[in-house]
Structure 1
Amino acid sequence: MNDILSFRQGVRDTLPTVFGYIGIGLAFGIVGHAAGVNVLVIFLLSTIVYAGSAQFIAVSMLAVSSPILSIVLSVFLVNSRMILMSMTVASYFKEESILKNIWIGTLLTDESFALGMSKRNTTGNKLSVSWYSASNVMAYIAWGISSVLGALLGGLIPNSTKFGLGFAITAMFIGLLYLQINADKSLSQRLQLIMVLVTLGLVFVGMIFIPSSILVLVVTLIACGLGVWLKRAYF
């Protein structure tokens, strides 16, 4: 990455992550097809709901005819972590209009958030609407197209799990985490590595006691609190 914050540079910076969206988008389309959801509904879920992992939950609940209110609440809880991410990103756009902030927040994803946090390490802690728009729009288009393709190809791929498509998103996050730790000079790498291990431990323990729908949100809040305390007390 470099320090350019133009729309074109946003496209270039986001391009390597597109393969992650394509992999998991195809998997969603295939899973949706297997659950009996038609292509139009899959397209609408990906372009209107646009909720990543929550869409898998929505499809599974639709397949068993769950009440609409239950589906809405489940999707909201799973994606509630985006509230924290949007608030973090909004702090870089304090001088922009509320409409521009809504635009960025509406299409924000876990991946574009992580990419933005890595980008700010090369730009003097700055981000631009143009750059973020490019990142979000590319993700949105890739997700929508790959979901529909997955649904269309679903009948031709009886066992999609053997291709390991679900690991694409995990691999992308590992790469983004490495870039974040390697590029962020404002924090001690020792502190960052400690927090990675602490977060892993919290997730492991949380999986036993905390409902999966709010696990990420709860772990994020606890880890952030511990991180602030550790930084002030020892770093």
Structure 2
Amino acid sequence: MKNHLKRIASPRTWLINRKSNIFITRPRPGAHSFQHGISLGVVLRDMLHVASTMGEAKKILNTKNILVDSSRTRDHRRIVGLFDVISLPDIEEQYRMILDTKGRLDVIEVNAAESTRKLCKIIGKTIVKKGKVQFNLHDGKNIVSDKEARIGDSFVVTLPGKEIESVLTLNSGAAVFLVYGKHSGDVGVFKEFKGNDALYTKDKMDVETSKKYLFVVGSRGKPLITIRKE
């Protein structure tokens, strides 16, 4: 597989300058899709602006303590995706990968306390040994737990481990984030299901979308984490 792709052919969700250079670093296949993930080197250079070239980004990764979800990585092609936490301990800065109001990948700075928690959507469930349940999460993690949760709910996971702090249930009043479709990037309050679709409220207006586009980010209409730039 090629290490680069043409900027002009990159996913629309990548918040990059498509005319500055012909090519951009292709992320290594991993936990996220290309639609919801971008290479760490590009994040450091084009989004956080801590490097001016990819060579500088590689040097930073090899000599500095750069963390993704509290684990050090040196791979500039490591794919970083939705709700991943990028930490730069040397300058005491932490960022979360989000979608902006136009559905494009962006980073938002968060405080140290918030950087130790991550929201993970449950996308599958499997019965494993001794009848326990393995939950398959949107970022590629698999967690075995006796927590009561359904596909479509979200776990609040502590970092760097995979301990489940709590469950955010997709029920009436839940704060939801739209991660696909024409409303991608919206934040609203879940109202009800309508078959395979769902209704959520935004700015006192009901909006209908596919229920698989919803990501639970809080309860009682309030997001648990910061997902918007001030």
TM class, shorter-length: under 0.3
TM-score computed with the length of structure 2 as normaliser: 0.26
Could you say which structure has the higher helix fraction? 1
TM-score computed with the length of structure 1 as normaliser: 0.25
- Structure with the larger RCO, 1 or 2 (CA within 8 Å, 6+ apart): 1
Could you say which structure has the higher strand fraction? 2
